[in-house]
Amino acid sequence: MRAGQAAAAAGVSVKALRYYEGLGLVRPGRRANGYRIYSDEDVRVTAELRQLMALGLTTQEAEPFVACLRAGNDTVDDCAESIAAYQRKIDQLDGLIDRLSQVRNLLRERMGQAARRGFRPLPATTASGEDEEMPLSQPAPLPEGLPAPVDDGKARHLPGRTLPELALTATDGSQVRLDGVCDGRWVLFVYPLTGEPGVDVPRGWDEIPGARGCSQEACSFRDNLDQLHAAGVDKVLALSSDRAEYQQDLVTRLHLPYQLLSDPQLQVADTLGLPTFTTEALPGPGPGQPQRLYKRLTMLLHGPRIEHVFYPVFPPDRHADEVLNWVRAHPVAAT
């Protein structure tokens, strides 16, 4: 058969067929007039070469397979030389995978270190040529279509309750007594967890109503803190089951001007009956157990007494505005 017919039968281009021929892998015969004639064996060799190339083998690495087929074997890998060629390629790929894995792990480590150090605002040049400080780092906007949580009634018992005498670790390393934070009005917002750079949140996180948006909520309180102070809020604190060392990283990374409290055992939830939910095991080494996490809510307090509860909280990235509006509409009576 002619070159075009052979190339079509083998599933390659005429150019590829000529390339294999130039390397001596395909050996067409010649007619008296000099035209090339390709045999069924040439077509089969070409088709096998196409498959081997698709697996990442070079033409040089494919030579043992072609020799095996030309020796009269039924397939290209009926020979010991073909098995050895397979093994050489596998060893080569294993080495490449190891090197790429090391590079990936190094990149993850450097990314995590950079994120934990936080992002310093860079100077931006104004129209007058002077430098001005760029805005603080902001998390990515929340995706559209997140499911909104519904009020399941599990926070209705909280107004009027008093916070327990529990001491929790804060991000400055101190122990904070919940019943002794301050004598005036203050805010304690409770969130499930924040995603760690380079680590996936539990599968299906965005499908859990109200779960997504912890970093956005933290930044909303950061950006509204001065206005909350002006409206009579003495302090803002946050609470989650995140471990203390990661909360410290979060404060640095997002430039949070308030403390985060770590409650990995959910002591506050068990004492006050705060709403929680269970999700799949958090990412980490080895198999894990399903995790119990806080549902998102915010308590407005006067001293240790719960004055008002926001539950459910949605959307979290605008929740600080909701708290600010409520505080302005309900000022503390002068004494």
**Domain spanning 3-91: which CATH class is it, in words?**
mainly alpha
- How many other C-beta atoms are found inside a 10 Å radius of the C-beta of residue 207? 10
CA angle 79, 80, 84 (to 5 degrees): 125
Name the strand (E) or helix (H) holding 186.
strand 185-190
Q: What ranges do the domains of the chain cover?
A: 3-91, 167-329
| Whether the domain at 3-91 and the domain at 167-329 fall into the same CATH topology | no
- What pLDDT does 197 receive? 53
Per-residue pLDDT tens listing for the chain (335 residues): 888 888 899 898 888 888 888 888 888 888 887 788 888 888 888 898 889 988 888 989 989 998 998 888 888 889 999 999 999 999 999 999 999 999 888 887 777 666 555 555 555 555 555 545 545 667 778 888 899 999 999 999 999 999 999 999 999 889 999 999 999 999 999 999 886 655 556 778 889 999 999 999 999 999 999 999 999 999 999 999 998 888 888 888 889 999 999 999 999 999 999 999 998 655 443 445 678 999 999 999 999 999 999 999 999 999 999 999 999 999 987 54
Domain 167-329 homologous superfamily, CATH:
Glutaredoxin (3.40.30.10)
The predicted model scores a pTM of: 0.61
Q: Is 108 left (phi over 0), alpha (psi -120 to 50) or beta?
A: alpha
